[in-house]
């Protein structure tokens, strides 16, 4: 990591050079709340010459955009896959990985649900369709409505790995574009259940569930079942504005924003 003086020197050069556009594409988990606020913090720190274009359409979209040059930074709530890294390399783009925060994938239900906790086994059986009615696990009778992310989402795939043993979602599951959409649907449906990033887990009309006795709060990230790292990716020779922004994200002021938004700074664990 560069020193603070170097960071501000880079920032000054960007400001003096005139307006530059920084295109950032990928994860909704990062791009819907966190990265826009980091962008505002970056500009407030003196980088007035940078204009941001942020497209939060799922982690899978980050890597083609980096490969074809339509993004200077990619956001991902999962690690890059080998074939994605290889594809970028065939286009002359050699990716560098930046761990920017920890996240927890939180199980949410409607606020009127009588349930307050589940086991990992129950979660797996719900999201693979083996448990179909709330009455099977002590809830009020009613068919379970499962809300998931769409297939381009890193969270969609992380959840399959972390919670479902790699098994498939049932065909009846309802795919949503982002965390906020999942939370909104669960808030409207008394039989709904879904998963969202920690920063989206306090949506009005929903409540979080304890998993195997562990409450989904930042202090429990090391022992919570569904914790993960989130990343920014960029070429190994980034543009000046991309490098300056990533340095800012990894700096103390950037990590303060990470914490305030509801993610967990890398050094907190």
Which helix (DSSP H) or strand (DSSP E) does residue 155 occupy? helix 154-163
Q: What are the two backbone dihedrals, phi and then psi, of residue 182, each rounded to the nearest 5 degrees?
A: -60, -50
| 27, two tokens | 């994860």
pLDDT attached to residue 269: 85
Enter the DSSP assignment of 172.
T
Task: Residue 41: name the closest of 265, 253, 259, 260 by CA.
Answer: 253
Enter the DSSP assignment of 173.
-
Q: Please give the biggest Cα pair distance in the chain.
A: 64
Label the pairing between strands 73-76 and 227-235: antiparallel
Please write the tens of the pLDDT for every residue from 114-123: 999 999 999 9
Which residue do the tokens 């939060």 mark?
56
Cα separation, 5 vs 11, in Å, equals 10
Residue 204 CB neighbour total at 10 angstroms: 8
Are the C-beta atoms of 191 and 145 separated by less than 8 Å? yes
> Which regions of the chain are under pLDDT 50?
1-17
Which helix (DSSP H) or strand (DSSP E) does residue 192 occupy? strand 192-197
Cα separation, 19 vs 217, in Å, equals 40
Secondary structure (3-state) at 85 = helix
What is the Cα 220 distance to its own chain's centre?
18
C-alpha torsion angle, residues 44, 29, 21, 237 (rounded to 10)? 100
Angle in degrees, CA 169, 170, 173, rounded to 5: 90
| 132, two tokens | 């179909």
Cα separation, 69 vs 16, in Å, equals 24
pLDDT attached to residue 69: 97
Cα separation, 9 vs 31, in Å, equals 27
- pTM given for the model: 0.89
């Amino acid at each position: 990591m560069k020193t603070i003086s170097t960071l501000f020197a880079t920032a000054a050069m960007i400001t003096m050079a005139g307006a530059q556009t920084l295109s950032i594409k990928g994860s909704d988990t990062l791009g819907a709340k966190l990265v826009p606020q980091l962008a505002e913090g970056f500009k407030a720190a003196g980088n007035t010459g940078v204009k941001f274009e942020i497209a939060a359409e799922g982690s899978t979209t980050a890597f083609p955009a980096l490969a074809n040059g339509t993004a200077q930074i990619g956001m991902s709530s999962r690690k890059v896959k080998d074939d994605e890294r290889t594809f970028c390399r065939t286009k002359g783009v050699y990716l560098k990985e930046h761990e920017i925060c920890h996240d927890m994938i939180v199980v949410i239900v409607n606020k009127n649900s009588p349930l307050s906790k589940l086991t990992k086994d129950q979660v797996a059986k719900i999201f693979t369709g083996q448990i179909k009615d709330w009455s099977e696990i002590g809830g009020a009778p009613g068919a379970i409505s499962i809300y998931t992310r769409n297939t381009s989402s890193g969270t969609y795939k992380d959840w399959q790995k972390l919670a479902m043993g790699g098994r498939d979602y049932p065909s009846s599951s309802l795919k949503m574009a982002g965390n906020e959409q999942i939370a909104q649907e669960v808030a409207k449906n008394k039989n709904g259940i879904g998963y969202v990033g920690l920063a989206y887990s306090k949506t009005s009309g929903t409540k979080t569930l304890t998993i195997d006795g562990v409450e989904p709060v930042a202090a429990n990230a090391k022992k919570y079942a569904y914790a993960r790292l989130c990343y920014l990716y960029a070429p190994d020779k980034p543009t000046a504005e991309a490098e300056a922004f990533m340095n800012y994200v990894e700096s103390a002021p950037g990590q303060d924003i990470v914490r305030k938004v509801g993610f967990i700074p890398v050094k907190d664990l």
